[in-house]
Chain A
Amino acid sequence: MLELKNISFGADSDGKKVEIVRDISLTVPDNKFVVITGPNGGGKSTLAKIIAGIERNTAGSIIFNGEDITEKSITERARLGIGFAFQQPVRFKGLTVLDLLRIAAGRPIKMDAACEYLSEVGLCAKDYINREVNASLSGGELKRIEIATVLARDVKLALFDEPEAGIDLWSFNNLIRIFEKLRESDKERTIVVISHQERILNIADEIIVLADGRVEKQGSKDEILPEIIGTKYAAGECYKLTEGVKGNA
């Protein structure tokens, strides 16, 4: 179980103090599928980074399976079983997909085991396993490899930050299938996905709406989804595409 108690995060922006996360308290129960949604700039990524230890909360405490991890490093939290898929995955010159999956697994996994993780994210393993995780990969490919690195780890809590961002429609259907499968898997694993996508919200046990650094709503899917459906917090597949077009105009 993950418990956030009075978490705040302030940062300096042009010499001014800004509160990005404001006194958030919430509990994520074990083996649940939780989706966090809310407007851009609402503090979702920041909160996920705080849980993974990448950003340090300026107030409050984080309890993971009964242990206070507030002072623990990224590495320590990872070893306790927290996994994080970045919204904007990092590229590495020289490291191959296989290298990354091996690091993720934390043991010298066999080629076919590595390939399985890639198939799970809809990539044809033999085309990718020896590719470098560098600029030659497209944004969508990189996102899927990022998800595979979390799948390769034996995590108790997996955080996915906007997994659908930058993925084309065809891959998007694949992606939904990955998350449906994750949800159905009998692994003891809690999944937290940051997403605006209706189809991902639809498979949630619980939905949290974050806005302006605060929890605006939290509850079961049946309770929350009807309230936000049709808004941009719960968009259909085409939302991102039209958004992209508007962005280009």
Chain B
Amino acid sequence: MDAVQLQLMREVADLHDVPEGAYNFRANGESVGRNSTANIDITSKTEGSGIDIRIKPGTKNESVHIPVVLSESGLKETVYNDFYIGEDCDVLIVAGCGIDNCGKQDSEHDGIHRFYVGKNSRVRYVEKHYGSGNGDGKRILNPVTEVYMEEGSSMEMEMVQIKGVDSTERATIAELKKDAKLVVRERLMTHGSQNAVSTYKVSLNEDGSSADVVSRSVARDSSYQKFDACIIGNAACSGHTECDSIIMDKGRILALPALEANNVDAALVHEAAIGKIAGEQLIKLMTLGLTEAEAEEQIINGFLK
């Protein structure tokens, strides 16, 4: 990998070196490094682009890194990655995509991730998006995430997109069985004339299932964001969705938290708040010696931390 690609790797997967455990590195449409372990097997799909990741039942404290980088202008790809996670696992999965586009043509990566989470398994999933390069070509990411959760399983998803991606359309769907638990933490910052849409459809299908979907976002300049999260309660379950946004400059945000209860014992809550940075917060930090711009940065960094 070249310097640009290595930089992207660092941004999206915090990787400074080859990670321990299983991994698959994809750069400009090709696999450039792969490691399977005794418990985690990564194979290329026989049809179409992408990989299958199979994690043996009982695999604990292991990790899989599958970062993707694009540094060639004009590259467009759709990749299917399927995760089959056995029963009683406890694993960390780090995905993420970095695009550097210095050229005139648009670069696009559409990753379709499907997770089949086995009974009583715990998964922590981290996905970061990052864009760089000052070409006219757009950096586009359209991730689709599907999560199918078996009884007693839990999944914590952290999705972060802070810089440089011109256009994103993210779609996440999840279906939960008995006592399954899904936690989503999304952090997003858009600037320039960027566009970001994030849609969630979480179905709580069996008793004891729960979901907590929280998005914190900042829209600067003339960027646009849409957050559309729907939690559907089909059993005795509990769901919470929250969208908390800071709006700046000429930014625009549409927040559509939605709930659908199809069972009398479904307890569902949603919250949404959009507002500019409170003047008092800026003043307080200025009395501590920061300039207005520095104060703004600190407030945003804290908010998105």
Contact = CB atoms under 8 A, between A and B. Distances in A.
Contacts of A153: 288-289
Given A86-B284, A90-B284, A95-B298, A103 B290 contact: yes
Interface string A81-110: 011101001101111100110011010000
Q: Looking at chain B, what size class is its interface with the partner chain? A: 20 to 34
Nearest to B305: A94
B304 A78 contact: no
A83 B284 CA distance: 10
A84 B299 CA distance: 19
Contacts of A187: none
Contacts of A190: none
Contact of B283 (A54, A79, A95): A54
A94 B288 CA distance: 18
Interface string A63-74: 000000000011
Given A90-B280, A94-B304, A74 B286 contact: yes
B298 A99 contact: yes
A79 B294 CA distance: 14
A75 interface: yes
A82 B286 CA distance: 11
Given A94-B305, A99-B298, A103-B298, A78 B286 contact: yes
Contacts of B305: 94
Interface in B285-300: 285-292, 298-299
Contacts of A74: 283, 286-287
A152 to B, nearest CB: 9
A89 B285 CA distance: 11
Nearest to B246: A93
Nearest to A49: B283
B287 A78 contact: yes
Contacts of A52: 287
A79 B302 CA distance: 23
Contacts of A57: none
A197 interface: no
A2 to B, nearest CB: 16
Interface centre among A52, A74, A89, A149 (most CB of B within 10 A): A74
A10 B303 CA distance: 36
Contacts of B301: 94
Contact of A90 (B281, B289, B298): B281
B303 A75 contact: no
Contacts of A106: 288-289
B287 A93 contact: no
B303 A103 contact: no
B72 interface: no
A95 B288 contact: no
Nearest to A159: B287
A149 B299 contact: no
B244 interface: yes
B278 interface: yes
Given A90-B280, A103-B298, A149 B303 contact: no
A73 B293 CA distance: 13
A103 B288 contact: yes
Contacts of B288: 78, 100, 103-104, 106, 149, 153
Given A90-B281, A94-B303, A94-B305, A78 B298 contact: no
Given A92-B302, A94-B304, A95-B299, A78 B289 contact: yes
Interface string B225-236: 000000000000
Contact of B244 (A54, A89, A93): A93
Contacts of B302: 92-96, 99
Interface in B107-152: none
Contacts of B299: 92, 94-95
A91 to B, nearest CB: 8
Contacts of B278: 90
Given A90-B280, A94-B305, A95-B302, 12 more contacts: A52-B287, A78-B288, A84-B287, A89-B284, A90-B281, A92-B299, A99-B298, A99-B302, A100-B288, A103-B288, A103-B290, A149-B288
Interface of B: 216, 244, 278, 280-281, 283-292, 298-299, 301-305
Interface of A: 52, 54, 73-75, 78-79, 82-84, 86, 89-90, 92-96, 99-100, 103-104, 106, 149, 153
10 contacts: A74-B283, A75-B290, A75-B292, A78-B289, A79-B289, A90-B284, A92-B281, A92-B299, A99-B298, A99-B302
